[in-house]
Structure 1
Amino acid sequence: MSDDADSPAPSHVPADAAGWRTLLNSVPDRDLFRLVQKEKGRVARVFAGFRATAAGLRLPLVQNRLVEEALKQPAFANDLMEWEPSPPSPPAPKSPHPRHPRFARVPASPGAAEGKVGKGPTAAGEGETKEGDVHVAPTPSPMGATRASPSPADTAPGPTTDTPSPTGGTGAFGRGGRGVRAGTAPGAADAERLREKVNQQRARLREKDERVAALETALAEVHRERDVARADARAARTGQKAAEAQALRLRRQMERAERRAAAGTDGPSSPRPKASPPPPAAVSPPPPPAPGPAWDEALRRLLSRGKNDVVAEVCRQALAGGPEGGAGVVHALYAEALYGQGQEGQAAEHDRRAVAAYLDAGDVPAATGSFARALAHDGGGGEAAALLRRLLVLARRTGQEALVRTALGRLRVAAPAAHRAAGRLLAGLGEAPSDFFTVPAGPVVGPDESVTLPNGGEPVSPRQMVEAVESGEDILVRRVRDGIAALRADGGPLADALLKAVEALNPSAVVPLTRDTRPVVVDASNVARHDPDPLALSQQPHVTNLLAMRDVLLRRGYFPILMVADANLRFHVDDRDTYRSLVERGVVREALPGTTADTALIAEAKERRAPLVTNDRLWEWEDAEGIERIGFGIFGGRVTLTPF
């Protein structure tokens, strides 16, 4: 609301909400507050949820209620139209000694009013003193001294001129500044110059605020990157310690096995206690056990985030115990990290070592996967023929030959050159390639099989496609969409095989890979806290609500999906591990600590020109006007979208 008390009342009735808002802005806060207080029900309607004060009229929500009141209540509209500015109150007289009874004002002479001092009829008399505009006449005191006694005739305040102060307000004393006496008011040029200075200072202050906000945003981003780097370093240190402990255990097992073997080959002359059992037979060292699932999962998580150098260093230290000091999974992870660094020759060698270790442990599926990957990158070099012979013997002994046939047959789609190399190796072993390979009705693509698309780029697997859709990687999804369209144009069955593999992982992820989509922003906190029963005693946020909302939006053709949540949501959800996984994979993004997600939601929706999925009406945010909003309801795990 405006603070100018001299604003004239409009002469016509506003026709719309904008006109009433302009009229309300022209009424001072104190006068408008007085109009609102005329009716108790009006105060309750306007200030519902807020304290009823004149300063509260500046709140955006209260202003919207005032506009609605003016449109719906004719009495309030008439009060606004009949409003007239209240006259300013005169300033209180200022006396040099307001509490002393012996002093009184003496009217100033005309010369004193003009600021002249001297003898004669316009000057103060002998023995008188002058303080500003107040003449003090001498009065005898009991001690013989001369005191100045104010005259009662001057107790009334002199005339003042209502001159607007540069700092606001009217009358002799402007609000927030020094008093301006009659006859010395600044002119229009001075007021304009002061107003320009104030506007310049405000502009500089706004620029400083913008710079401070930009610096705070950059600082928050740096802090976030620092936290991510620290988390990666902690994970790397944990993996390194686990690898060192695993290598130490393997070395100790080998040393114990060697000591047992040496003790079993000793001659009969070796002294033994009488009660000791017979010497054990010579045994070969047992195969090293594979690392635990937690350690393996930690390294694979680092690989999925592109930390190939960290995983390679951890595996290198795990293999430092000797040529037999590592399990097959360590060699396989090391090979995958080296593939990510572009060292295909060295990576294929470690894949072959992984095949040998898996065969020693009797793990046919893992050995088959490492052999197929090495064959796809190396073309059958090194000891590929010997490893394939061992693999076929073990697979036929354990009844898993069909698994090897299927894995090598899939190379026809993913890597044709590797498929031809496998045929040559089989022919060298006396096998008929045409009888060995299983030829299905159409190509079959596994979830982790990488396929090179015709539009170029790095090979991508169906699992990577699903992860890209869930995390909102728009560039990769568009490239895959164009590649699948090119495969369909050529008439090949590979596109359908890829989509079937994606559908097996997440059926909703197929839609963004096959048609054009529209971006959307989701209020993750509002969705997670949604409960169909408003009277429920425990309304704990549900992570399943977020997953259900994501799948429904994907099926409706919305992508990328940006879910923004408050920073404290992770401490209240029912499944913290799943929610933390969604944050790490980029499915859900958190606002900065100490801030609300509403600001980020409004900014992202405006920047992307995307609808906002939320049940929050955002009354307190004026920036939310003009944003398309979509409401929702979740009943029994099923999501229903409703436009606002």
Structure 2
Amino acid sequence: MTAEEWREKLASLPSKEIHRLLKNEPDVTAKISTGFRPGAETLKNPIVLKRLAEALPKNPKLAEALKGLEPAAIALAIPEPVVLVPSPPKETSAKLHLKLKEQRAALKEKDMQLAQQAVQLAQLEKERTATLAERDSERLAREAISAKLERERRRKMPEPVPVSPARLEPTPATSRVVGATITEQAGWVPDALTRLLVRGHDATVLTLSRELLTDDTLPVMARAGIQGVYAFALDSLGAPEAPEQCRAATDTFLSAGQLLEAAEALRRSFTKNTPSAAERALLQRLLALAERRGELETLGQWVASQRNTHPSAFACLCKALESAGKKYAGLLPTASTTKLAPDATVALPTSAKSVASVTARQLVTAVDVGESALIAQARTGITALRTGNPSLAEALLEAIGALSAPALTTLTAARLRPVIVDASNVARHIADPLAALVAKKQTASVAQLLQLREFLLSHGFFPVLCIADANLRHLVSEKVLYASLVERHIIRETLAGTSADELLLTEARAHNAPLITNDRLADWGKQAESIERLGFTVHKNGICLLPS
């Protein structure tokens, strides 16, 4: 039977019987139910029936079972016989009217009682709210008085007695204790902020960092670490002020004598093809610090490691090193001697069979479609390969970077974080409202959605799950491109006639991931408040995420 004949036959068969047979064929069920919820009702959908009809010629066992089913019986509507009921006597009718009148009066009385109780309940709720507000006011007043008394007590404390310089000379043991204390004070705050940043609390890190950096009593090491975390948080969100803050973090790290931390912050400040004068000056200070401490070789190894992990920043860094003079020419890495074609097979040292033998193109495709398990295994294998065979690992990463820079970031980033994207909201976002008013025609943009997706992949977000309303395909101008994205499972569509909001919230909670949308989701109340929501803007320099 052809696919068209199968479609006609499947339309006549009972969907419950088809669903019963498909339970024994999980692979076929998964293939035909992509984008739909599996069930007997779903089998009535023309798209699902078409997929099943195309899959049956490849599955003769299931086809034979379906041929044995009988078509669904057509139920004929038989009118029920009309039974004439004699009208009740006049006396019975009068009694019924009287009883009905009494019941209506009783219901009216109950409604009045319920209304009175509702008024009393509202009054009690109002009194309760006033009591809670009064209690909170008293608590705040007590805390303010306690803080004032504490300040007065500290102000009236006697000044410390000056100690002669001779008594300030610590013994070797004392020096070690003091040094450990200073190190501890300088380390725990940046470490705590870094843990928050890894868990995805970018907005909290930004707020705490701003408050801490206003404290002039912070030790130099602590200030450097906090400034660095603050700059990295801005950079992960793509904020316009991120490069300036990265330069400030570089300056602070250099003042604290932290070489590699300063180098990493300087690398994040390279956002253009050519380094600025300020970045060249910071690089000169970095080189001087490395030379003074005898760590030029360490710095050279760090520079070489940036070739594949951050290719654009690496090119800018090489330009800055070339202008630094011949004295530091040895830091410029030589070209890689190993070259790999995109389809050349590489054996990764891992126990996972799925990535034991891969190509650069396969890994890029896995990133593209969001295969989380395979990418996690590949990241482990690439890390091991960098230790055992650095030249081969560098060649593989170079081949991946030539195919897709976002895929290279996904495979080499220090941390990955899943993210959910409201594809309909992003595609309909108006970057230039004035231009939209002139055009008087608003269409959804697939290119804008892909631009945001590439930005997220380039900033360590993976997998990127894009969920769209079913009607988005009718609003986009690039219909062929949109259909291919849906076919490759890069975009997931909801069922026709349903909103994507519920699925977006469900996926965000299931993956513990932020939701990228400018929609406030006001209709969802506490369900929307329980997830992290990030807004976005599209400007001439790219994308910027906005903490909600």
Length-normalised TM-score, structure 1: 0.33
Structure 1 or 2, whichever has the larger Rg, is 1
Q: Which has the higher contact order (CA 8 A, sep 6+)?
A: 2
